[in-house]
Chains A and B, each alone.
Chain A
Amino acid sequence: MRPSLILRTSATPILVMAVLYSLYIVLRGHNSPGGGFIGGLIAGVGILFFAIARGRQEALRCLRAAPTTLCGLGVLLALTSGIPALLVGQGYLTHQWFFIPLGDSQIPMGTALLFDVGVYLTVIGTVCAIFLNLIRR
């Protein structure tokens, strides 16, 4: 059974929107509802939708890396985000902050964001690994 033309055509814009929205959710997560976990789930839903509409192979091509690789990258990123703290003599995973001046205000940046991106990638990887393998046959 081949998915309908509407479904297949709308898959790409929906995926793009889902991923962009998920990135927005990750970035704002520190101050408003959101974060890496929810962001990862939202992006995952987008990819799921894409895979249902266009098939497994297309979805894998969109991901660029194997889902399990994303999992590994995510955990690795989260692991390394704790290392800068060790270099300045603080406890592992004590997040470091620096401030980028932007006009009158400052944008706080920190290793916490790296950590959250790690969570984000791991969640996407897990969702895709499970789903894309389930629809293998």
Chain B
Amino acid sequence: MMPTAVLALPILLALAASVAAALVPRRVSPGLGALAAVACCTVYAMLGWQAGSQGWFSHFWSVPALGVAGGLRLDGLASVFALLITGIGTLIFLYTARYLHDDPRSRQLVTLLLLFMMAMLGAVTADDVILLFIFWELTSLASFFLVGYHHESAEARKAALQALLVTVAGGLALLAGLLLLVQAAGTTRISGILEAREVILAAPAATPAMLLILLGCFTKSAQVPFHFWLPSAMAAPTPVSAYLHSATMVKLGIYVMARLSPLFAGEALWHVLLTGFGLATALIGTVLALRATDLKRILAYTTVAALGTLTLLLGIGSPLAIVAALTFLVVHAFYKAGLFLTAGIIDHETGLRNATRLRGLGRAMPVTAVGAVLAALSMAGLPPFLGFLAKELMYEAVAYAEYFRLAAAAGLFLVNTGTVAIAAVLAIRVFGGTLAPTPRAPHDPPATMLAGPLVLGLLSLAAAIALPVTAARWLEPAAAATLGRATGVELALWHGFNPILLLSAATVLAGLCLFRVWPALGQWLRARTLIDRYGATQGYDAALRGLTTLARASTECFQHGSLRGYIRLLFGAAAAALLLPLVLGGGLATPAFELVWWDIRYLAFAGLAVGAIAATRARTAFVAVMAVGLVGFATAVLFLLFGAPDVAFTQFSVETLMAVIIATTLARIPIPQADTRRRGQKRLDALIAITTGAAVSAILLAILAQPLDTRLSDWFGQYSLLAAHGHNVVNVILVDFRALDTLGEITVLAIAAFGVVALLRSGAARPGRAAREPAAPPGPVAIEPQTGSRDPA
């Protein structure tokens, strides 16, 4: 591999452009985006052209302290993705300029799209799992904001949140899986992980890692049962749908699966899972696509089907299947982005997106029709388009599949038939025949909007005609990177007359038949309302409701507003946490000691005992505070007698302050002086108090029974004066050796002070509110007897 720092250039460029796009005038910003995308695309094209099977890498950036070692890498696989991201990105920016020309917020959209492009480029060129994860999550975040672009619509907000929750939850699973891999491999570099294949597969964490990573990929790439977020995400503006939710972001899951497939290839579970889920996703996506009427939803469901097909092909995992997958990936990106852009044009020009009501637009918008037909031909897999090659390869690969061969072949036939039918709907039905009335009179949009569909359609054609170049420069290196070795597959558009060609022809014929019955079929499918009632969306809604219910239940259980309840819970939990491990683990022990007849220090212990007993016998709160204060002072005396003057000193000050503060507060707040608890409650409190005391005593005795390890205190004693110029070891530890801990502690102190101030002020502003609403932040008056909390006292 050849090293170069140029790899970071496009990422930085995209980042800089995203900032600039927010500052330049609104009319200029999409142009700026297009320029940035073109520049990035050129860099990747030049690097990719020269890289061959070797690839480029750069390790200029690393954080050894965090274990982040890797940098960026551009091999065949990354370069295909990078070109799709930047190339389609360019067309998207051009399109956006016109599509949102009267939207005052369009700059935001351009900025977000550029940020998204940066994140995607980072994700596909990262050679480090941490970097990959960060960029992965950035794409999810960008998607959240882009889906929720029309944030005034509740539907868009819900869709944005849904996409975020599903993909970010998956992202967390991915992170866990990647970290397991890192632990097994001992490196965060992806290339290093792939090299450590034998070690990783021998590790017990291999299977959990694979499952977690797949969970992440399945959510991102909308595999069943997580497919529901993708159609909802169509609430985004159409260029966003074309870019994120068909061509690039949803393929990130596919990318990671492809990237890691040299690692897991040969593992039966990997192949079974990918094949199974891929097939299920492809079939369900196709059925739902045939059922939908909204142009964008139809396209979204066919995207789900295509993502399923890609997963299926990666699951088959043979060289042929990998080549088929990468070819189909490119084909799909071309035609799907083109069709989305066409759908956007139709929506923009006619004000209508319902496929059942759109007819005969061809005469009114001929150039748009050309773009749509080009894309549809590639989608249907007709020669001489690249889609034809992809379909041939697919069938051939499935014929040699290891798992579910028959089911996969039959399923793929059905999926492709459905795809042909939908391609026909989008080209023949929408553009052919006589014009049906639409809200707005349709006509062709300006050139910048048409560029997308036309260029992408022509690319499907050109890539197939120049197949030797396409194959040698892009497809083969990408497939080799996915496979981990050269594929040895010879690509040719024309395979001769063979059973596969026959199958291809049968697919097209069956698809056209399906197209004839499409209106009736769609109606029949829509009448099956069971799908609406028990679909994955309903599952998501139910899960979200469940989460809210759980949160409410746990809040009501723990945040009930009764101070006494809080204290009981805190002490009870502390006692249990101390005692249970001791008792269950058999750690109970007492140190050896000899009892002497008389010692002056007994007096301090006597003070302790008198204070404690007095506190329990106290009739008023004031006396109780004083008694507890006595315990505190006796403890301070103990510290003093046992040679800890610093601690004693602090204890004295704290006790004084506590006594003064509590006494002052008690004098000002009118709480009943007498104890209002019932007999049972008193017994419970006594039990909790005794248990807590016993637990603390037990653990202290157990600690004392252990031989004292003095290495640390010796070290501190030795170096206190030498290294930190202080005789007082305690203070030297506080301000020097462990200064960072102290810094943390005083920060907590300051935050606590701010919290107290805020609470007291809010309580003063709204007296008694905390008493009526348990959900409101408790004010200072939330002292038991007046609050009317659910505590029976």
Contact = CB atoms under 8 A, between A and B. Distances in A.
A44 B728 CA distance: 23
Contacts of B735: 30, 35-36, 95, 112, 115-116, 119
B657 A45 contact: yes
Interface string A63-107: 000011001101100110010000000001101010000000000
A30 B734 CA distance: 10
Contact of B739 (A42, A71, A93, A133): A93
Contact of A93 (B665, B740, B754): B740
Contacts of A129: 753-754, 756-757
Given A42-B653, A93-B740, A134 B646 contact: no
A32 B665 contact: no
Contacts of B736: 95, 112, 115
Contacts of B780: 134
B632 to A, nearest CB: 13
A72 B724 CA distance: 26
Contacts of B732: 30
Contacts of B757: 67-68, 129-130, 133
A131 B724 CA distance: 35
A137 interface: yes
B54 interface: no
Contact of B725 (A30, A92, A93): A30
B752 to A, nearest CB: 7
A130 B661 contact: yes
Nearest to A93: B739
B649 interface: yes
A134 B665 contact: yes
A82 B736 CA distance: 10
B731 interface: yes
Contacts of A72: 750
A3 interface: no
A133 B760 contact: yes
Interface in B139-177: none
A137 B743 contact: no
B731 A30 contact: yes
Given A29-B728, A30-B726, A79-B743, A135 B660 contact: no
Nearest to B650: A38
Interface range on chain B: under 10, 10 to 19, 20 to 34, or 35 or more?
Answer: 35 or more
A125 B753 CA distance: 8
A112 B724 contact: yes
B362 to A, nearest CB: 69
A75 B740 CA distance: 12
A118 B746 contact: yes
A127 B747 CA distance: 14
A55 interface: no
Interface in B621-676: 645-646, 649-650, 653-654, 656-657, 660-661, 664-665, 668
A75 B653 contact: no
Given A67-B753, A137-B764, A119 B746 contact: yes
Interface in A1-57: 29-38, 41-42, 44-45, 48, 52
Nearest to A121: B746
A33 B653 CA distance: 13
Contacts of B668: 134-135, 137
A32 B661 CA distance: 29
A118 B764 CA distance: 31
B657 A37 contact: no
Contacts of A108: 725
A34 B724 contact: no
Contact of B653 (A32, A45, A134, A136): A45
B727 interface: yes
Contacts of A41: 650, 653-654, 657
A78 B731 contact: no
Contacts of B650: 37-38, 41
Nearest to A123: B749
Contacts of A126: 749-750, 752-753
A109 to B, nearest CB: 9
Nearest to A74: B746
Interface residues of A, number: 49
A29 B740 contact: no
B664 A135 contact: yes
Interface in B712-756: 724-728, 730-732, 734-736, 739-740, 742-743, 746-747, 749-750, 752-754, 756
B743 A131 contact: no
A132 B469 CA distance: 79
Nearest to A26: B731
B653 A29 contact: no
A131 B732 CA distance: 30
B749 A93 contact: no
Contacts of B645: 33
Contacts of A112: 724, 726, 735-736, 739
A95 B724 contact: yes
B761 interface: yes
Contact of B731 (A35, A44, A92): A35
B749 A71 contact: yes
Nearest to A117: B735
A33 B728 contact: yes
Nearest to A81: B739
A74 B748 CA distance: 12
A110 B746 contact: no
Contacts of B726: 30-31, 112
B728 A31 contact: yes
A28 to B, nearest CB: 8
A64 to B, nearest CB: 17
Nearest to A40: B653
A119 B664 contact: no
Contacts of A42: 653
Contacts of B646: 33-35, 38
A119 B661 contact: no
Given A45-B653, A119-B735, A126-B753, A136 B764 contact: yes
Contacts of A135: 664, 668
Nearest to B750: A71
B382 to A, nearest CB: 66
A82 to B, nearest CB: 7
Contacts of A44: 653, 657
Nearest to B747: A75
Contacts of B756: 129-130, 133
Given A35-B646, A45-B653, A45-B657, A134 B760 contact: yes
> Counting chain B CB atoms within 10 Å of each CB, which of A116, A131, A134 scores highest?
A134
Contacts of A48: 657, 660-661
Contacts of B760: 133-134, 136
A116 to B, nearest CB: 5
B731 A125 contact: no
B755 to A, nearest CB: 10
Contacts of B661: 48, 130-131, 134
Nearest to A36: B735
B664 A71 contact: no
A60 to B, nearest CB: 13
> 4 shortest A-B CB distances, which residue pairs?
A41-B653, A30-B726, A71-B750, A31-B727
7 contacts: A32-B728, A41-B657, A45-B660, A79-B743, A115-B735, A116-B735, A136-B760
Given A35-B728, A45-B653, A129-B756, 20 more contacts: A29-B731, A30-B725, A30-B726, A31-B728, A32-B727, A32-B728, A37-B734, A52-B664, A67-B757, A71-B750, A75-B743, A92-B740, A93-B740, A93-B743, A115-B742, A119-B734, A125-B750, A127-B657, A133-B761, A134-B760
Interface of A: 29-38, 41-42, 44-45, 48, 52, 67-68, 71-72, 74-75, 78-79, 82, 92-93, 95, 97, 108, 110, 112, 115-116, 118-119, 122-123, 125-127, 129-131, 133-137
